[in-house]
């Protein structure tokens, strides 16, 4: 069993930090990196192999994932919106992938349970309409999890202080999926 973990955006935020909280300065790339590293630790602790890559190149991410022989692909992001009130957790899967949808549901449920975030549910990305590159271009069941909103005053506290809980929840979602 092997899981490919992709913390979203560029290492150290260079050149792309993803979304940022305008008040605390917290960067999405940093949250994704820390949660990704911790998720690797929790998966390894239960005997699941991992490969982890944060890269500014989506093509590199997909080609490394596709040659990794990983069983599942998980990309980790934070959401952001112009309206500060938007909050909660959502997880994306690619249209047509029942396995991806199932994995997304397992991870989303675990995060909402553990962090008590608003459940925005599983979302479906349809290539050509609202497709997501890493979901459309990976060969295995793949999900993109938006942990919470970095632009929301309450969610950003969770993203700052509860990274370990997010990671634990993702790992539990993976084991739920296999069970
Ligand atoms: Zn992102």
**Closest CA relative to residue 79, chosen from 110, 111, 126, 56:** 111
* CA of 144 relative to ligand 1 center, distance in Å: 9
Distance (angstroms) between ligand 1 centre and the Cα of 56 equals 11
Check residue 3 and give its pLDDT.
98
Sign of torsion over alpha carbons 39, 42, 46, 47: positive
Residue 159: per-residue pLDDT = 98
Alpha carbon of 19 to ligand 1 centroid (Å): 7
* Alpha helix positions (H), the chain: 28-45, 58-66, 98-115, 133-136, 153-161, 163-178
Query: How high is the pLDDT of residue 94?
Result: 98
DSSP 139: S
Whole-number Å distance, alpha carbon 28 to ligand 1 midpoint, is 7
Question: Widest CA span of the chain, in angstroms?
Answer: 41
Q: Determine the distance separating the centroid of ligand 1 and the alpha carbon of 27, expressed in angstroms.
A: 10
pLDDT in tens, the chain (179 residues): 999 999 999 999 999 999 999 999 999 999 999 999 999 999 999 999 999 999 999 999 999 999 999 999 999 999 999 999 999 999 999 999 999 999 999 999 999 999 999 999 999 999 999 999 999 999 999 999 999 999 999 999 999 999 999 999 999 999 999 99
Locate 103 and state its tokens: 């994995």
**CA angle (102 as vertex; 60, 6 as ends), nearest 5:** 20
Per-residue model confidence (pLDDT) at position 107: 99
- Phi and psi, residue 16, nearest 5°: -120, 105
The token duo for 108 is: 């989303």
Would you state the pLDDT for residue 103? 98
pLDDT of residue 83: 95
Q: Which two tokens stand for residue 24?
A: 């605390």
The pair of structure tokens assigned to 96 is: 């047509």
How far apart (Å, rounded) are the C-alpha atoms in residues 80 and 139?
A: 28
Ordered by where they begin, the domains of the chain are 2-178 (3.40.630.40)
């Amino acid at each position: 069993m092997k899981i490919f973990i992709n913390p979203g955006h560029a290492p150290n935020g260079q050149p792309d930090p993803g979304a940022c909280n305008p008040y605390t300065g917290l960067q999405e790339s940093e949250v994704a990196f820390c949660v990704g590293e911790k998720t690797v630790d929790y998966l390894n602790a239960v005997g699941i192999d991992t490969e982890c890559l944060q890269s500014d190149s989506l093509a590199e991410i997909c080609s490394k994932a596709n040659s990794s022989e990983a069983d599942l692909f998980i990309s980790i992001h934070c959401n952001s919106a112009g309206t500060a009130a938007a909050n909660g957790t959502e997880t994306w899967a690619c249209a047509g992938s029942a396995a991806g949808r199932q994995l997304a549901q397992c991870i989303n449920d675990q995060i909402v349970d553990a962090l008590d975030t608003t459940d925005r549910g599983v979302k479906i990305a349809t290539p050509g309409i609202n497709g997501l590159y890493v979901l459309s271009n990976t060969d295995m069941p793949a999900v993109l999890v938006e942990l919470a909103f970095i632009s929301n005053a309450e969610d950003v506290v969770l993203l700052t202080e509860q990274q370990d809980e997010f990671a634990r929840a993702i790992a539990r979602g993976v084991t739920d999926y296999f069970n």
